Amino acid sequence: MQNILHQEGEKKLPLLMGILNVTPDSFSDGGNFYDPHTALAHANRLLEDGAHILDIGAESTRPGFEAVSAEDEWARLAPVLNPLLQQGTLVSVDTTKASVARASLKQGVQIINDIWGLQSDSEMPFVIADSAAHVVVMHNALKIDAERDIIADWKRFFDVSLNLAEKAGIAKERLILDPGIGFAKTPAQNIQAIRSLKILKSEYQLPILLGLSRKSMFGHFLGRSVKERLAGTLAANIAGVHEGADILRVHDIREHADAFKMYNLINEGL
């Protein structure tokens, strides 16, 4: 994946990570792709539309989500993972559980996306280290604090995560940072986080994944329902790429592929 992020001699476009939730309760598409056949059809549609990576989650992370057991999470994932991996799809699994990550990696999953940045399950760093996979280390907190200095908290949190990664033996080039838009942040803090991505990249010199698709800040600032947040998402992601984001985790792949093709043409020329 590192080679994809840093292709020599080619115009740089962000990688597009398509969201596939095989859950009954995710905030945007809960229940839509719970059935494995429906999930696989949607996965292939995302790939046809231009997704470079598929991020598959089997436990909702929306506010107030209901936790599921590792066994239930894996039972949702397995029927979808195997066919996609067999066709050579670059797959990320969105999980905080080391046992789910281990089972996924054994199947050939190339990325683990951990919303608690290796800090929730003490076995997670070692599971990642025993593979060749990349890991998305996301910033998170237990609750919203409107007085929190986001940049200072990034450093506090990511220093802990990267220390855990180093002690476990995860090579730096396998790490990707996620600023955690929408996780324990006020709408104003989310905006500050997007505006400060260059600071994050300068501090750690690591690729950045930005996941803000359809999130509640668009409802706050624009008054739009979940299904009406594409325009806001596109604008925020364009700003995010300008600030240094390398990977965009989104629901609407085709629209983002078109937007960034034009963005690149305008910025780099024909």
* Residues designated catalytic: 215, 249
Q: Whose CA is closest to 174, among 209, 132, 214?
A: 132
φ/ψ bin of 86: left (φ > 0), alpha (ψ from -120 to 50), beta (otherwise): alpha
Instruction: Tell me the C-alpha distance between 112 and 118, whole Å.
Output: 10
Is 226 in contact with 193 (CB distance < 8 Å)?
no
DSSP run (H or E) holding 55: strand 53-57
Q: b/e for 34-71, b at 16 or more Cβ within 10 A?
A: bebeebbebbbebbebbbbbbbbbbbbbbeeeeebebe
Instruction: Tell me the C-alpha distance between 33 and 56, whole Å.
Output: 11
Cα angle 115-175-36, degrees, rounded to a multiple of 5: 50
Helices vs strands, H then E, count in the chain: 11, 8
| Distances from the Cα of 41 to the Cα of 44, 74, 90, 179, angstroms | 5, 19, 16, 30
Q: Kindly report the number of other CB atoms within 10 A of residue 127's CB atom.
A: 24
DSSP run (H or E) holding 228: none
Residue tagged 């397995």 (tokens): 78
